[in-house]
Amino acid sequence: MGLTITKEEIAALPVETFEGKIHVIDQVKQVPGAVALLAKESLLGFDTETKPAFKRGQVNKVALLQLATKNDCFLFRLNRIGYPNELEELMGNPDIRKIGLSLRDDFAAIRQRSGERPENFIDLQSYVDMFGIEVNSLQKIYALLFNKKISKSQRISNWEAPTLSPAQQSYAAIDAWACLRIYTYLSNMDPEKWAKCVQ
């Protein structure tokens, strides 16, 4: 029997918070320094946010790209800075593993801004299958492993707003950081032994 969790069980959990530092990158001149710090890492958590479209046929470009380490999260405001070469090179760096969830959607959004293919990405939706985890949303996987709830209250907020609110920054940072935390936690486990322990 696979591992799963209900919405009711998640609702009863305490809300997770990101205790690290959030860096909002909304000027091109900030990009090289941010990328230099991220390039020192072997693992990064990854996510994107796009302003929701409420009119039929309307498609917005990805507005925010998040990359997280254990203690920092960088929020690249692509609607302000475009898709700088340094960031594109980082995304295509085969030596840095990037961890995300439902990557097909993110890659489709990035293709609107770049013709280069991102390299060395792991999609948690496929990865967690090895551990008998049947749920595939970030909120459910995280709740199952860490007994904490990731708030989704900012998901459909305006990611192209002049200034990202503290709540938006926290939401965006947690999504990327949570991907990294899940992968780091599971990658230290033997899938067969872990599955037996939790049955």
* Torsional sign, CA 145, 155, 167, 100: positive
The string of DSSP letters for 107-170 reads: HHHHHTT-SSPP-SEEEHHHHGGGGTB---SHHHHHHHHHS-B---TTTTS-TTSSS--HHHHH
- Is the per-residue pLDDT at 10 higher than 50? yes
The predicted-structure confidence for 86-99, as pLDDT tens digits, reads as follows 999 999 999 999 99
List pLDDT tens digits, range 50-81.
Answer: 887 767 767 778 899 999 999 999 999 999 99
d(CA 75, CA 158): 15
pTM of the model: 0.90
What are the tokens at 80?
Answer: 């302000």
Residue 12 DSSP symbol: T
The SS3 call for residue 72 is strand
Alpha-carbon distance of 141 to 149, in angstroms, equals 10
Q: State how far the Cα of 65 lies from the Cα of 93, in Å rounded to an integer.
A: 16
Q: Which tokens hold the place of 179?
A: 């991907």
Domains of the chain: 7-198 (3.30.420.10)
Do 87 and 65 form a contact (C-beta atoms < 8 A)? Answer: yes
pLDDT, tens only, 104-142:
888 887 887 777 778 899 999 889 988 888 888 899 999
